[in-house]
Structure 1
């Protein structure tokens, strides 16, 4: 007699085979792995190297912002792509940036460049604009 379905796993004595507990453990491990992959937040790195300005104080809590990178030469990047200032503002206006904008600027970029960008973003209604300052290393 050929056993099929659920009864196929039962031996002649009606007990499960030895491999079943191991299979259940493997299933649990893969489910946890899939859960962790789905719940993680992936951030696209900027297309240029950044040495960010360091600051002191506590970080602010806010919704997930649009992340903009500013290189030492003043180049802008969003979503891993280099963009001009006008193209960046047009793209952000098309997005739902409810969390505002978070700027990570290289430490060598001029302050006037960053402040000009902040003014243009706020004038376009894309605020609040935050500047990312990692803690200073002592």
Structure 2
């Protein structure tokens, strides 16, 4: 009497492949659509510099675009409101401001902002640049 052995088939991976495809599609979707940092309120391209240092996180960040519009710590603000906001700080002399100005901004507009910051009592102002490679 001859017994027949059952056919041993390898495990069926046919159901696993669509799951892997879906996971990779979701991964690609979240990589393309997700943002790691919130967008800045103004589109600013700072000028390039040969050397520099990274800004301190405890500083106020002032963005100035090519047309002279300003944003202070993720809020759009005008020149008069900037002076009022800085004057309302507890101790403006102990605070510092980092300016991220667009490279196309004319020097006269930047000078006006620097004068305004000096008049409000800010102790230190840094100008953010992009390093050259």
Q: Shorter chain as normaliser: what TM range? A: 0.5 to 0.7
Unaligned runs of 5+ in 2: 1-36
Q: Deviations over 1:82-107 (max 9, x none)?
A: 11111012112222453411000011
Match for residue 96 of structure 2?
100
Cα pair distance change 1:110/1:83, threshold 3 Å: same
SS in 2 for 1:95: coil
SS in 1 for 2:49: coil
Match for residue 125 of structure 1?
121
Contact 1:46 1:78 in 2 (8 A): no
RMSD: 2.4
Alignment of 1:54-133 (within 5 A): 54-59=48-53, 64-96=58-90, 97=92, 98-133=94-129
- Name which of 128, 134, 138 aligns with 2:130: 134
Q: Give the superposition deviation at 1:61.
A: 6.8
Unaligned runs of 5+ in 1: 1-42
Does 1:50 find its partner at 2:44?
yes
Contact 1:102 1:131 in 2 (8 A): yes
TM-score, normalised by the number of residues in structure 2: 0.62
TM-score, normalised by the number of residues in structure 1: 0.60
Residues in 1 aligned to 2:39 and 2:72: alpha-carbon distance in whole angstroms? 9
Residues in 1 aligned to 2:43 and 2:71: alpha-carbon distance in whole angstroms? 11
Contact 2:51 2:131 in 1 (8 A): yes
Count of residue pairs brought into register by the alignment:
96
